[in-house]
Amino acid sequence: MPILAPNRVPRATPSTLAESVAQQREALANLLREPLALAAQACSRAWPSRAGLNAALTHAMRDLPACKYLYALDTRAMQLSDNISHAGLIETDYGRDRSDRPYMNEAVPNQGFLLSQAYISLRAKRPSLTAIQIVRDDDGHVLGFVGADFDLRDLPLTGKLYEEPTYWRQIKGDPAIRGAVFHQTRSDSQLDLQLDTVLGVMEELMSDRGVFHGKLHFSSSRATIWLVDDPYRYRLLDIEALTDPDTCLSYPRRPYPADAVVPKEKIRPVLEALRGLRFMDETFYLRAGSLNIFNGMVGLTFSCDGSHYLPWDEFLSKGYDFWAPDNPTGLSCPV
């Protein structure tokens, strides 16, 4: 296992998922460095005695309540101890070659501690990670490593819930669909033929009936909705429900949420803009569009399977002409 110079992650407010993960990993590493360093010191005094290492690691396990297994490895990643667990010794892995495990193929910083990237464990098939601490003798020579395995669900919380960013993102879809986009043309769906009624029903549901997230599937003539009164379950509205204004009576009136990002009066303009993209071109057209009033994001999926996610006000500011296929700065699904 190679040894590298320290790699410090700067402390800053996370703005991306990767930054949030990095901050949580740093906080977790800070919790593990000291107890693993003490475990390595104890192991160096017992090296390479199996019984001595077992005793040293059993004692060290008391300071690692979330640890699943603790063990000692030589410089070839051959296991010199049993697996130490909170339930006792597990002898089956003594002599095991761990050189092919992902945590043994990462570079250990020269301070001697590594928190591995998460991986799927061989036996439990669960997301896990391993902390590695170098064991040195009194002269500083590397004897081997102490390894500590953790199941992600057993780890302490190390940060607040990650907040999804609200900037514009584009995601490419299925290459097979993109490659065949010029061989297809839009066909009027049942929803397309009754769109005035459908948009009226959706506006009523989102502005006055407690629907905070609605998605119109134009091509398949259906909608999925989520309500503030029952946010953990989505509801499916087929074309019969979407074209019957009486459907609104099934959902009690609710005041428009004060913490909604999208103003109530902007729901209809967003829905109308979705209509425009549905009919903008016979080859490039909207297949599905969504609006979430709390995070303010509009989701768009086009005929080429490309998707866009952008803030509602930015969506409205672009206008129809931006998305037209003959505008080189707009829709870029074929690439």
Buried b (16+ CB within 10 A) or exposed e, 219-251: bebbbebbbeeeeeeeeebebebbbeeebbeeb
pLDDT of residue 334: 36
Cβ atoms of residues 81 and 72 within 8 Å: yes
pLDDT of residue 10: 43
Nearest CA among 79, 22, 25, 76 for reference residue 53: 79
Cβ atoms of residues 50 and 81 within 8 Å: yes
**To the nearest whole number, what is the mean pLDDT of the chain?**
86
pLDDT digits (tens, 9 = 90+) for 85-99: 999 999 999 999 999
CA distance 121 to 129: 8
CA distance 161 to 192: 39
pLDDT digits (tens, 9 = 90+) for 112-121: 999 998 889 8
Q: How confident is the model at residue 295 (pLDDT cuts 50, 70, 90)?
A: very high
CA distance 123 to 69: 13
Percent of the chain's residues with pLDDT above 90: 64
207 in helix, strand or coil?
Answer: helix
pLDDT digits (tens, 9 = 90+) for 175-225: 655 555 555 777 899 999 999 999 999 999 999 999 999 999 999 999 999
Please tell me whether the peptide bond between 48 and the residue prior to it is cis, using omega within 30 degrees of 0: yes
Q: How confident is the model at residue 283 (pLDDT cuts 50, 70, 90)?
A: confident
The type of residue at 81 is: S
Sign of the Cα pseudo-torsion (81, 85, 91, 97, in order) = negative
Q: How confident is the model at residue 159 (pLDDT cuts 50, 70, 90)?
A: low
Domains of the chain: 3-154 (3.30.450.20), 169-323 (no CATH)
